[in-house]
Amino acid sequence: MKCKLRQQDLDRLRVADDPASHFLMRLITLWRSENHDDLPTLHDPLAVAVVFKPSLVETETGRVEMDGAITAFTPAADSSTKAARQVDVNAFLDCSSTA
């Protein structure tokens, strides 16, 4: 929930001169009309970015118990499951402008 678009990101998208940015701004405008002018949270883009830059998140190894929704995370060194515990929000939001 920490990785929300910032106003400066929207401003950069508005002035970009490419079809993808224009399309994305249309989608964001539509989304905001239904979400009280809130700024979108970038859940899926963060997941994709971590594939290419794992240092964006700090993970912890453990067990996740689920019952429709995550109900518990228990640290466990013998597990193969890693859960993101912290995210470097600024590095994530700024990574597209430095690529």
For the full predicted model, state whether its pTM sits above 0.85: no
Residue 69 to residue 57: CA distance in whole angstroms: 21
Averaged pLDDT in 10-residue chunks for the chain of 99 residues: 88 92 91 83 91 94 86 91 92 70
Residue 78 to residue 28: CA distance in whole angstroms: 42
Residue entry with tokens 């964006």: 56
Residue 87 to residue 8: CA distance in whole angstroms: 20
pLDDT confidence of residue 60: 95
Residue 97 to residue 75: CA distance in whole angstroms: 35
Residue 41 to residue 78: CA distance in whole angstroms: 32
pLDDT confidence of residue 37: 65
